[in-house]
Amino acid sequence: MQFSQLIRDLPTVATGGNLENDVRGIAYDSRRVSPGDLFVALRGEHTDGHRYISQAFERGAVAALVEEPVEAPCWAQVEDTLRALAITAKRLHGDPAADLSLVGVTGTNGKTTTTYIIEQIAAAAGVKMGLLGTIEYRWPGHRENAPHTTPFSSDLHGKLADMRKSGVTSAVLEVSSHALDLHRVDTLRFDVGVFTNLTRDHLDFHGTMENYAASKLRLFTDYLKPGGRAVLNMDDEWGRRYLHHLDRHQVITFGFSAEAQVRPEGDFEPDPTGINQVLWTPAGHLLVDSNLIGRHNLMNIMAAVAACLGLRMEPSRIEAGLQQPMRVPGRLERVDAGQPFTVVVDYAHTPDGVEKVISALSEFRPPHLITVVGCGGDRDRKKRPMMAGIAQNLSSLVILTSDNPRTEDPERILDEMEAGMLGNRGASYLRLADRREAIHKAIAAAGKGDIVLIAGKGHETYQEIQGVRHPFDDREVALEALAARGYARGKA
């Protein structure tokens, strides 16, 4: 497509060069430019794409979108290249989202599990669905690790175009608050939007909970199709607030609250083998028979059920999907080598996430619950003492350790976590900045019937230290620690 066609109707400030150049692709990283690409110069937190215009053209770029005049063979200046990136990507890929039913899931916790449940229900209903989220981007015949929870808009439209070519008719996306604020989903319109919950996270980016909540709300006020359905958590304060901004006829609510439209019938009974529960829904009673465990996973199931009802799936198909065995990497994922105690890896990395996961495991009344937990560097520092205090109050033993320290000193992070524990009457605790050593220590301390929770990194297969990602997988390190105690995979 000609560059002039890509930028038609964009509010350009100035242009230079031959605007009739043919564009075959889009890149926002000069290192990833291929011949024939349009290079879009983005201003980021750590760098500015305008510094790399010449490198982009040296690698074969045929045009550039910029926010300031540049010395280049072909360019157009716009006020906001992030917004322009979304519009040009949509045009270049032929608006693939227009041919797909889209479900967007936003919230602090539970997004990944909810998208996996929706995808599984869709498969049982015969719907060919793609998934884009924190762990991976996948659709029938394709799977890749995810560098971002929600891809940049140019990558996003490229993935949706690939899905369309593969015969996919629907897609479920995790939609982060960053994605909403940074224009990654600007040109999309969703058939269903899901709000899981809102708890403290990302305040290093948003500043206040009010700003964070306002970002999430935009999924429902700005990005739903006409007639689209908003699925809201009625047990969450912000979910109840969002109701006042929406037409109630477009909303399906879920939760344990008696006012929720999708809600459990009777009390929830914790069971280490799974969830068996009858739900009230606008379509009648629906039976949940799932291998997922914990009250918070019943919330995720209810969110997924409400979303699928919003897509007008038959209740019998939804029930069939919930009966299928489910594994969500790094979400209450068991590590089993035949040991007489339970080892679980979970992505919980917020105060609310840590509390929900430890509470779910505590319901099984183990003799001891040992928690390994850390906090990421270069992120919201105020949540550090909160997370540590919650872990101490709900565990038998807590081992504070590194998560992804990034550019911070791990010991300084542990100092800030420990501040939330000093003087408390909760569990005893240790500090071990070396995460491998901390996991080994926790597993060495476990006895028959105990539960070891390794929290924070979940599915991640690296540890980021001073800008370098080192191979590190909590699940593999746990198996290594179990082997050191004499347990091998699958047998004692």
Tokens of 469: 């990602």
- Quick count: other Cβ atoms within 10 Å of Cβ 193? 29
**pLDDT (0 to 100) of residue 492:** 38
Whether 266 contacts 278, CB under 8 Å: yes
**pLDDT (0 to 100) of residue 426:** 77
Write the CB contacts of 8 (distance below 8 Å, at least 6 apart in sequence). none
CATH number for the region 3-81 comes to 3.40.1390.10
Torsion angle (degrees, nearest 10) of CA 205, 207, 208, 210:
-60
Cα–Cα distance measured from residue 428 to residue 369, given in angstroms and rounded to the nearest whole number: 12
Chain Cα centroid distance, residue 231: 17
Whether 174 contacts 135, CB under 8 Å: no
Tokens of 161: 């175009």
User: Three-class SS of residue 143?
Assistant: strand
Any idea which residue has 């320290």 for tokens? 405
How many Cα atoms occupy the beta-carbon half-sphere of 201 within 13 Å?
20
**pLDDT (0 to 100) of residue 200:** 65
Tokens of 42: 């983005």
User: Three-class SS of residue 415?
Assistant: helix
Name the H helices within 148-233: 153-165, 177-181, 203-206, 209-221
CATH code 3.30.420.40 for 96-323: no
* DSSP codes, 19-44: TTPBP-EEESSGGG--TTEEEE--B-
Rg of the chain taking only CA atoms, in angstroms:
24
At the top level of CATH, the class of 333-484 is alpha beta
- Domain spans, the chain: 3-81, 96-323, 333-484
Beta-strand pair 190-195/170-174: unpaired
Cα–Cα distance measured from residue 465 to residue 15, given in angstroms and rounded to the nearest whole number: 42
Q: Which of 381, 376, 392 is nearest to 464 (CA)?
A: 376
Q: Where are the beta strands (DSSP E) in 322-417?
A: 333-334, 342-346, 369-373, 397-400
Q: Which of 259, 257, 252 is nearest to 283 (CA)?
A: 252
Cα–Cα distance measured from residue 416 to residue 233, given in angstroms and rounded to the nearest whole number: 32
Domains 96-323 and 333-484 share a fold: no
Cα–Cα distance measured from residue 341 to residue 74, given in angstroms and rounded to the nearest whole number: 64
Whether 234 contacts 255, CB under 8 Å: yes
Cα–Cα distance measured from residue 304 to residue 103, given in angstroms and rounded to the nearest whole number: 10
* DSSP codes, 462-486: EEEETTEEEE--HHHHHHHHHHHTT
Cα–Cα distance measured from residue 303 to residue 297, given in angstroms and rounded to the nearest whole number: 10
Q: In what order do the strands lie in the sheet with 12-17?
A: 12-17, 74-78, 63-66, 37-40, 25-27
Q: Where are the beta strands (DSSP E) in 2-150?
A: 12-17, 25-27, 37-40, 63-66, 74-78, 101-106, 129-132, 136-139, 142-145
The secondary structure of 259-291, three-state, reads: CCCEEECCCCCCCCCCEEEEEECCCCCEEEEEC
Name the H helices within 182-259: 203-206, 209-221, 237-243
What's the start-to-end Cα distance of the chain, in Å? 62
Any idea which residue has 């999430």 for tokens? 216
Cα–Cα distance measured from residue 158 to residue 263, given in angstroms and rounded to the nearest whole number: 38
Instruction: For the chain of 492 residues, list the mean pLDDT of each consecutive stretch of 10.
Output: 96 95 97 98 90 97 97 96 97 98 96 98 96 97 96 97 98 96 96 93 76 94 96 97 93 97 95 95 97 96 98 96 95 95 96 94 96 96 95 96 97 97 85 98 98 97 96 98 88 42
Cα–Cα distance measured from residue 121 to residue 128, given in angstroms and rounded to the nearest whole number: 11
Q: What is the DSSP letter of 378?
A: T
Cα–Cα distance measured from residue 466 to residue 468, given in angstroms and rounded to the nearest whole number: 6
Residue 104 burial (C-beta neighbours within 10 Å; 0-12, 13-18, 19+):
buried
Residue 396 burial (C-beta neighbours within 10 Å; 0-12, 13-18, 19+):
middle
Query: What's the residue count for the chain?
Result: 492
Beta-strand pair 275-280/263-264: antiparallel
